[in-house]
Structure 1
Amino acid sequence: MRMLDIIHTKREGGQLSPEQLQFFVDGVVDGSIPEYQTSALLMAIFNNGMTDEEQTELTMLMMKSGTHLDLAKIPGIKVDKHSTGGVGDKVSLPLAAMVAAVGIPVPMISGRGLGHTGGTLDKLEAIPGYRVELSESEFINQVATEGLAIVGATGEVAPADKKIYALRDVTDTVDSIPLIASSIMSKKIASGTDALVIDVKTGAGAFMKRLEDSEALAKALVKIGQQAGLQCEAIISDMNQPLGRKIGNALEIEETIDCLKGHGPADLMEVVYTLGSHMVVFGRKASDLATARQLLEQTIADGSALAKFKAMVVAQGGDGRVIDDYKVMPQAKYQIDYPASKAGVITQMLADEIGMASMVLGGGRAKASDQLDYSVGIELNKKLGDSVQAGETILTIYANREDVSDAIKLLDQSIQIGEHAEVPPLVYEVIK
């Protein structure tokens, strides 16, 4: 079999056989296929797409290229959640604790942030001592005893995806639905969970800007998951403006704990409850979404979700004092107000530009090797549709330098004040 023939088949719009895809994945992992040929096939896939059968086959082969976690020692139905990423998207943090408090084991393998979207692991590392790297046995034991763990990838999970993604990044083939779907699902299937709820973001701050693209990705993800034997659903949620009030690593831990204490922003909590309700039904702790939501609300009212989060933090080496004292995390030196230029209504608050403003302050990475400043970020005092007076503070910039003109320039491009605002729905639809 020749790689040249595989490239030709896909370039001409043909369907690749399981044997051809196996040859490709094996060659990527062992290095026998040169990067220029891999890149050529990625571009052919980008241009011509893949069938459902090809997507699923590629996903499973990528998953089998590395470690597959066996979570059989953990009793119960294991349920995970994945997000395609957004600004202020700290949903996984309160959500995992709330679902675990209902009695459903949550083994969550998360990632780091790049660009304007923050990573769950980066946020947790704002807590002094928190270990995101656990061995496979430590991970399994913690989920079995505490009910949850949020960690980075254990072992060599989907090494084919790691090599393919690196090439996608430098060949402008990242935003291909088959390649995105196989990348996400190969890692999630390898994590060994029984059920998965996927939060597919749409809008200015999302990977997929258009709703129809988000729908196509959601359908591809769900189909792959179901064909692999997972219970799987996707929720399409809004990312035109940041989610919640706080953006930045330590700031988002603060907001997570506020949520678990019953003081979370309404928009953030609505997304948490929506995703969590589907997870609780998957975990068979409720037969319908309304009952599931009530169970989740009870974990906030009785403090059990907060206790679960603290138990996870302590079990992974983190400073448990953070629950009552946010100052154990890094604190920014300056707090700078961003005032309204005139009176009116917030008509635009673009999530991507606000996320970039947090990134240039040091809260995100332009490239994987960049070091983070956990203390910096942005706090929103107003959201889309809120009224403001001239000079009133729209948001607060947390920084470790007095000159934040680069961030302000981005904020100026993001925020507009007018007479009337169209506020998009928080949740668009459920893909089953």
Structure 2
Amino acid sequence: MTQFTFDAPTVIRIKRDGGVLSDAAIDWVIDGYTRGLVHDEQMSALLMAIFLRGMTPGEISRWTAAMIDSGERFDFSDLRRDGKPLRLVDKHSTGGVGDKITIPLVPVVMACGAAVPQAAGRGLGHTGGTLDKLEAIAGFTAELSKDRIRQQLQGIGAAVFAAGDLAPADRKIYALRDVTATTESLPLIASSVMSKKLAEGARALVLDTKVGRGAFLTSEAEARELAATMVELGRAQGIDTRALLTDMDQPLGSAVGNAIEIAESLDVLAGGGPADVVELTLALAREMLDAVGIDGVDPAQTLRDGTAMDRFRDLVGAQGGDLLQPLPVGAHAETVTASRSGTMGDIDAMAVGMAVWRLGAGRSTPGGQVQFGAGVRIHRRSGEPVVAGETLFTFYTDTPERFDGAMAELDGGWAVGDAAPAPRPLIIDRIT
């Protein structure tokens, strides 16, 4: 049998010229990059070629499988509660601005009787990461061993953890995409999401696929294709997978950053919070519960009666966090005020996301530190009345030299007019 050998320039050239990578070539390059034989600059070139040339469904499937095979695959099927297997279900968002939904959603689903093994990520480009937000809580750690994850799933019904040994190839590629302008590639998004999610041990998965100015994919047609691709990847692995297509033209909620989004999530868990954050949290909770056969339970009740807040305290406490300690807030603040009265128009999610990134809430180099206290508070949402002179946005950062760049990003991303913009549905479609 002939043995084929590969080298990085050849693999890059195939994709650069619009060719289709063989299964063997994909296996080789993923394994080589994981082990350090393929270098960052070579993988960067390949990622850009994929970004520009795309991938066939067969390539996406093999790329995803190769990333799963680069690490461990968890199996929690032996865990029991009251003598019955745990109802293991997870959710993943493709990334948005102000998208803190995982933080209230996981405890809501816990309170309804399901268990959530949540392999979460860090910020990518202009979008925030669940781990960066949770680590703004004093003492919270997402670095959990497999045994610790098992104990938490059995004991309290959830664990939110860094992927660790799950799809280590994706961890390296994810960090590289963040700093090489290759985040918006449909094949790379699909394979990144599904390699971690298919390896984490859930039996069902609900995908929140974002579309709009603040999403990685701004075209509804592309977002639908992404959702369908991920649903197919999940079902091919025997995982009940479904997706909601949701609007990301405007930021979710009124807070964008790390600690500031935790504070808003606590408002939701206390029975308040912005209506859009509550709506999406409950819609995803219902999908997750349905996927694992839990019915007759109203997830909204867990917000009203405090049981979701109790479960969040359990989760944070189990992972070393202390909710009694104040959340960090940037040492310096600047405001944007209204020059006229009227009605707040559309607020561009991308502009807000980039402003928050400029303030220090995101990264410009792989593995860089984020400012937990950096962020933007939106005081007037789209369609709300505005009075001349009032504060519309507050910026927070520990490094005040960042204000000018952040203000420039937001400039032109909002306007006050005479009439409210036409409302858009938050949940656009459901894809199964």
Pairing 1:313–2:319 present: no
**Cα displacement string for residues 263-315 of structure 1 (whole angstroms, at most 9, x for unaligned residues):** 121011111111111001012112xxxx56xx101111221100000011111
CA shift for structure 1 position 25: 3.1
User: Is the 8 Å Cα contact of residues 88 and 202 (structure 2) preserved in structure 1?
Assistant: yes
User: Is the 8 Å Cα contact of residues 3 and 37 (structure 1) preserved in structure 2?
Assistant: no
CA distance in 2, matches of 1:65, 1:388: 53
Pairing 1:263–2:272 present: yes
Pairing 1:301–2:311 present: no
Unaligned runs of 5+ in 2: 81-85
CA shift for structure 1 position 79: 0.5
CA shift for structure 1 position 28: 3.3
Q: Percent identity?
A: 42
Pairing 1:96–2:106 present: yes
Counterpart residue number, 1:331: 329
Counterpart residue number, 1:110: 120
Secondary structure of 1:348's aligned partner:
coil
**Cα displacement string for residues 124-158 of structure 1 (whole angstroms, at most 9, x for unaligned residues):** 1111111111111011101110111212123x222
Aligned partner (choices 369, 372, 387) of residue 371 of structure 1: 369
**Cα displacement string for residues 69-106 of structure 1 (whole angstroms, at most 9, x for unaligned residues):** 12224332211111111111100000000001001001
Aligned partner (choices 23, 39, 60) of residue 65 of structure 2: 60
CA distance in 2, matches of 1:187, 1:366: 23
CA distance in 2, matches of 1:98, 1:306: 8
User: Is the 8 Å Cα contact of residues 56 and 227 (structure 1) preserved in structure 2?
Assistant: no
CA distance in 1, matches of 2:223, 2:45: 26
Change (3 A) 1:29 1:412: closer
Change (3 A) 1:6 1:74: same
Moved more, 241-250 or 20-29: 20-29
Change (3 A) 1:94 1:68: same
Task: Show the 5 A alignment for 1:388-399.
Answer: 388-399=386-397
CA distance in 2, matches of 1:353, 1:228: 38
CA shift for structure 1 position 175: 2.9
Moved more, 13-22 or 370-379: 13-22
- 1:137 counterpart letter in structure 2: D
User: Is the 8 Å Cα contact of residues 203 and 211 (structure 1) preserved in structure 2?
Assistant: yes
Counterpart residue number, 2:30: 25
Pairing 1:249–2:258 present: yes
Change (3 A) 1:416 1:194: same
Number of aligned residues: 420
Aligned partner (choices 351, 355, 363) of residue 353 of structure 1: 351
- 1:381 counterpart letter in structure 2: H
CA shift for structure 1 position 223: 0.9
CA distance in 1, matches of 2:24, 2:43: 16
CA distance in 2, matches of 1:369, 1:235: 31
Q: Which has the higher helix share?
A: 1
- 1:91 counterpart letter in structure 2: I
Could you state the TM-score of these two structures normalised by the residue count of structure 1? Answer: 0.89
Counterpart residue number, 1:419: 418
Counterpart residue number, 1:325: none
Change (3 A) 1:173 1:393: closer
CA distance in 2, matches of 1:131, 1:148: 14
CA shift for structure 1 position 167: 5.5
Moved more, 77-86 or 28-37: 28-37
- Divergent runs of 4+, >6 A: 34-37
CA distance in 1, matches of 2:327, 2:283: 30
CA shift for structure 1 position 349: 0.9
Secondary structure of 1:140's aligned partner:
helix
Task: Show the 5 A alignment for 1:192-271.
Answer: 192-271=201-280
- 2:99 counterpart letter in structure 1: D
Change (3 A) 1:6 1:371: closer
Change (3 A) 1:405 1:172: closer
Secondary structure of 1:428's aligned partner:
strand
Change (3 A) 1:405 1:180: closer
Counterpart residue number, 1:72: 77
Counterpart residue number, 1:120: 130
Pairing 1:189–2:187 present: no
Change (3 A) 1:207 1:145: same
- 2:303 counterpart letter in structure 1: I
**Cα displacement string for residues 331-385 of structure 1 (whole angstroms, at most 9, x for unaligned residues):** 3445544211112222231112212222333323233344333223222221112
CA distance in 1, matches of 2:400, 2:65: 50
User: Is the 8 Å Cα contact of residues 86 and 201 (structure 1) preserved in structure 2?
Assistant: yes
User: Is the 8 Å Cα contact of residues 138 and 323 (structure 2) preserved in structure 1?
Assistant: no
Pairing 1:146–2:144 present: no
Secondary structure of 1:71's aligned partner:
coil
CA shift for structure 1 position 395: 2.5
Counterpart residue number, 1:137: 147
Pairing 1:272–2:281 present: yes
- 1:229 counterpart letter in structure 2: G
User: Is the 8 Å Cα contact of residues 177 and 220 (structure 1) preserved in structure 2?
Assistant: no
Task: Show the 5 A alignment for 1:4-15.
Answer: 15=20
CA distance in 2, matches of 1:228, 1:284: 19
Moved more, 331-340 or 383-392: 331-340
C-alpha RMSD of the superposition: 2.5
CA shift for structure 1 position 411: 2.8
- 1:423 counterpart letter in structure 2: P
- 2:28 counterpart letter in structure 1: F
Change (3 A) 1:109 1:165: closer
User: Is the 8 Å Cα contact of residues 179 and 365 (structure 2) preserved in structure 1?
Assistant: no
User: Is the 8 Å Cα contact of residues 125 and 183 (structure 2) preserved in structure 1?
Assistant: no
- 1:161 counterpart letter in structure 2: D
Change (3 A) 1:172 1:309: closer
